[in-house]
């Protein structure tokens, strides 16, 4: 509930960028963590980021498609998330087992999050121009 107030105050774009930065930092710390207790503490900011970033990205998906296929786009978005968590957990788990631990996996995840942030920034700029042209906002 407080996230909605913060998002309304600072704007979706700023919150999403902060989410990406926090996600990158948390994943980097997870790659270097030496204690189970610290890993558990890192779960809170990770969950907070995922809980705010996923709906923001969902809104971007919905804004990017015509009204008549928004339901389909929404379903595909959540199907992709579920598939990514399922397939990613299995495949990266096997990679971690082969490499002898999760440290490298979390480091790779932080790099992927950096790429995701860049894609978000580029997509947001393109989407903002589209919204201005289509809706005059």
Q: What is the pLDDT of residue 136?
A: 43
What averages of pLDDT result for each successive group of 10 residues across the chain (137 residues)?
Answer: 78 90 96 92 94 88 90 95 93 90 90 95 74 45
Q: What is the pLDDT of residue 32?
A: 92
* CA dihedral of residues 124, 55, 94, 108 (deg, nearest 10): 40
Q: What is the pLDDT of residue 4?
A: 75
> Residue 102 — φ and ψ, nearest 5°?
-95, -5
Q: What is the pLDDT of residue 137?
A: 40
């Amino acid at each position: 509930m407080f996230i909605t107030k913060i998002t309304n105050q600072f704007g979706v774009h700023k919150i999403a960028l902060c989410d990406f930065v926090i996600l990158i930092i948390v994943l980097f710390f997870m790659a270097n963590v030496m204690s189970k207790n610290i890993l558990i503490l890192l779960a809170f900011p990770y969950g907070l980021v995922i809980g705010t970033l996923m709906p923001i990205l969902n809104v971007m998906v919905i804004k990017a498609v015509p009204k008549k296929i928004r339901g389909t786009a929404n379903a595909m978005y959540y199907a992709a998330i579920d598939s990514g968590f399922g397939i990613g957990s299995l495949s990266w788990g096997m990679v971690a087992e082969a490499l002898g631990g999760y440290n490298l996996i979390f480091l790779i995840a932080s790099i992927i999050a950096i790429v995701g942030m860049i894609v978000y920034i580029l997509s947001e700029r393109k989407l903002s121009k589209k919204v201005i042209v289509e809706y005059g906002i």
